[in-house]
């Protein structure tokens, strides 16, 4: 059983630019993943509106019955979120690391067009490594 079920990256306007599934039993098709991503984008925005105190940056952690969703928003509005098993720790660190990989291998890629779906081999390779490492660390714990 995987600790991390899936990873999504959405651009600042809510479009899905990266989706990877790591063995959840209900894999989503492309249309559904696009819908879910833009739905999350709007829920994130609404949660800021409903805050009782000013300075809210949106949902960081959503705890559902069968999974946890951790979300990290970069300063430019790109959102990274992972779906993982309930109670999985250290996801903020992983998300920050994925963000670093994104800046290094996607943003610095001269052939990458901003806000477009990510198709970068090096990003894929390093991402797989990072997730793999996280799993090993989880098993060791």
Q: Which is nearer to other proteins, 88 or 126 (by Cβ)?
A: 88
* Binding flag, residue 57, other proteins (CB under 8 A): yes
* Binding flag, residue 60, other proteins (CB under 8 A): yes
Q: Are 98 and 127 in contact (CB under 8 A)?
A: yes
Task: For Cα atoms 88, 90, 96, give the angle at the middle one, nearest 5 degrees.
Answer: 130
Query: φ, ψ for residue 48 (rounded to 5)?
Result: -70, -35
Among 13, 29, 30, 54, binds other proteins (CB under 8 A): 54
Torsion, Cα of 120, 108, 82, 133 (10° steps): 80
* Binding flag, residue 28, other proteins (CB under 8 A): yes
Query: φ, ψ for residue 128 (rounded to 5)?
Result: -55, -40
Query: Of 19-27, 95-103, 112-120, 130-138, which part binds other proteins (CB under 8 A)?
Result: 19-27
Could you list the residues that contact other proteins (CB under 8 A)? Answer: 5-6, 24-26, 28, 32, 35-36, 39-40, 42-43, 46-67, 69, 83
């Amino acid at each position: 059983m995987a600790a991390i079920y899936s990873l999504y990256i959405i651009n600042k306007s809510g479009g899905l630019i990266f989706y990877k599934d790591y063995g959840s039993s209900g894999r989503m098709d492309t249309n559904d993943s696009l819908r879910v991503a833009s739905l999350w984008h709007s829920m994130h925005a609404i949660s800021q509106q409903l805050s009782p105190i000013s300075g809210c940056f949106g949902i960081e952690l959503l705890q559902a019955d069968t999974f946890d969703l951790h979300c990290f928003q970069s300063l430019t509005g790109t959102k990274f979120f992972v779906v993982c098993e309930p109670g999985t720790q250290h996801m903020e660190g992983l998300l920050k690391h994925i963000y670093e990989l994104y800046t290094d291998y996607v943003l610095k890629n001269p052939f990458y067009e901003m806000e477009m779906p990510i198709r970068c081999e090096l990003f894929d390779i390093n991402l797989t490594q990072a997730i793999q490492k996280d799993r090993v660390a989880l098993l060791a714990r």
